Amino acid sequence: MKFVRFLLMTIRGFFTILGIVAGVAAMVIAYFVITGPPDAGGSGHGHGHGMLDPKDEIPVVFDIGLDPLAGGEIGLVYQSWLSPQQEAEEEDDVPAGAPEQFLSTEPSTDREQRRSRGHATLAFNRELSRAYVHLEIANIDPDDINLVHIHCGRPGQLGPIMVDFGATGDVAEYFADGVLSYEVTNADIAAATQGEGIVGALTAGCPIIQTIPGDRHRTIAGMAHIAAEGELYFNVHTVQQTFYGDIRGQLQPVPDDQIADARIDLPAAG
């Protein structure tokens, strides 16, 4: 019996070693399938499949003066003129069952009767790591402002929130001098995707693809993409017009010549 047990253990050990050797061999084969044999790609550091002939670098064929450190300069700029008439509906038209936190706490005024206005710029730096907001209001008491957002959506559409300016400070204080000046980073956009419950699912973050729930933009680059599609807007909400907002403005591209003329007045990229 001892001999039989010894024989079985020896056979088991043999197959264990054989399995290890086979596993190592498979890994070596997989490595060369992915990277190619040592003499196929030279001594470079590429990750090719060893199926293409080596290539030499080419001479410059289009020279715009590459400068990888110039990405912090201002690139694309958009602006919007905000008005009550761009709001989707009157506050009297708020649907039944709307969440209480979105309801006005003071009497509302119809859009045509309101004199509130705004003008804003949204400037992206070239490397799309920062965006700079300047939003000036007129005929609005800053103390009445309770929410200020950048939304994604087409004209007349109530779109999700992309930037919530109230997440990092008191919006009434931001507008104490009549102008909101704000640097937007990826963190601001990612924070807007963190809504909870059904309200959060409907209002928090802008979808990358409408048919993929939960796949939200989290970067300045994503915001620039939506702006280029013409589907980005500012909305200033007040205690009198909380659900739809008091003034709204769809963002439009600023012509290149105007950007060049105004560049000295734009904030320095950080």
Q: Are residues 1 and 39 in the same domain?
A: yes
Q: Evaluate whether residue 270 is within a structural domain.
A: no
- Higher-pLDDT residue of 113 and 25 is 113
Q: Are residues 20 and 94 in the same domain?
A: no
Q: Are residues 95 and 213 in the same domain?
A: yes
Q: Evaluate whether residue 48 is within a structural domain.
A: yes
Q: Are residues 20 and 132 in the same domain?
A: no
**How many residues in the chain?**
270
- Which residues does 27 contact at the CB level (< 8 Å), separation at least 6? none
Q: Evaluate whether residue 116 is within a structural domain.
A: yes
pLDDT of residue 37: 53
Residue 187 has pLDDT above 70, yes or no: yes
Average pLDDT score over residue span 166-190: 96
Average pLDDT of the chain to the nearest whole number? 82
pLDDT of residue 9: 42
Q: Which domain holds residue 9?
A: 1-52
Residue 147 has pLDDT above 90, yes or no: yes
Angle, vertex CA 230, rays to CA 225 and CA 232, nearest 5: 75
Q: Are residues 26 and 140 in the same domain?
A: no
3 state SS of 26: helix
Domain count, the chain: 2
Q: Are residues 24 and 101 in the same domain?
A: no
Band (pLDDT 50/70/90 cuts) for residue 25 is: low
Q: Are residues 152 and 259 in the same domain?
A: yes
Helix (H) or strand (E) holding 29: helix 2-35
Poorest-confidence range of 38-47, 152-161, 179-188?
Answer: 38-47
Q: Of 230, 218, 236, whose CA–CA distance to 153 is shortest?
A: 230
> 0.85 exceeded by the pTM?
no
* Per-residue pLDDT tens digits for 64-78: 889 999 999 999 999
Residue 216 has pLDDT above 70, yes or no: yes
Question: Percentage of residues in the chain with pLDDT exceeding 90?
Answer: 60
Q: Evaluate whether residue 24 is within a structural domain.
A: yes
Q: Are residues 95 and 16 in the same domain?
A: no
- Beta strand 117-125 pairing with 161-164: unpaired
Is 236:142 a contact under the CB 8 Å cutoff?
no
Q: Are residues 44 and 101 in the same domain?
A: no
